[in-house]
A = this chain, B = another copy of it.
């Protein structure tokens, strides 16, 4: 686990097609991301990539993540504690973050389609609830508060 997932090759090919050069650093970064399920935060990418290719500078990682997003391989989300990146192909979901206990629930986008459509109809704005986390109070904490 943790290396050379099947999509890494696909991604590399796609990146080459976009005129991007495949350097060792970039290869390590892409492979690290492609073999990670869910989202990953930049500092983690930096740590893991530096373990593989000593001397990789943080700025390279940040710039590569940005590049990968432009090319359409990744997307970033704003979570309670900062920015996270995940593969674009991953199932889209919103993050429900409990402001009491910090729990992070995932809600499939399909469950929010109705709300998205309703807001678009009522306000002319087509929202994407997956880009920013949604704060609130989870069921467990609601129960505690109700006693």
Q: Contact at A99–B131, with CB atoms within 8 Å?
A: yes
A127 to chain B: which residues have CB within 8 Å?
Answer: 96, 134-136
Flag whether A124 is at the interface (Cβ < 8 A): yes
Interface size class of A (residues with CB under 8 A): 20 to 34
Q: Contact at B132–A133, with CB atoms within 8 Å?
A: yes
Distance in angstroms from A74 CB to nearest chain B CB is 15
Q: Contact at A128–B139, with CB atoms within 8 Å?
A: no
Flag whether A142 is at the interface (Cβ < 8 A): yes
- Classify the secondary structure of A's interface with B: mixed
Beta-carbon contacts under 8 Å, A89-107 to B? 96, 98-99, 105, 107
A125 to chain B: which residues have CB within 8 Å?
Answer: 96, 98, 105, 107, 136-139
Flag whether A126 is at the interface (Cβ < 8 A): yes
Chain B residue at minimal CB-CB distance from A140: B124
Chain B residue at minimal CB-CB distance from A118: B115
Flag whether A63 is at the interface (Cβ < 8 A): no
Q: List 6 A-B contacts (CB under 8 A).
A: A78-B80, A99-B131, A124-B142, A128-B135, A131-B135, A132-B134
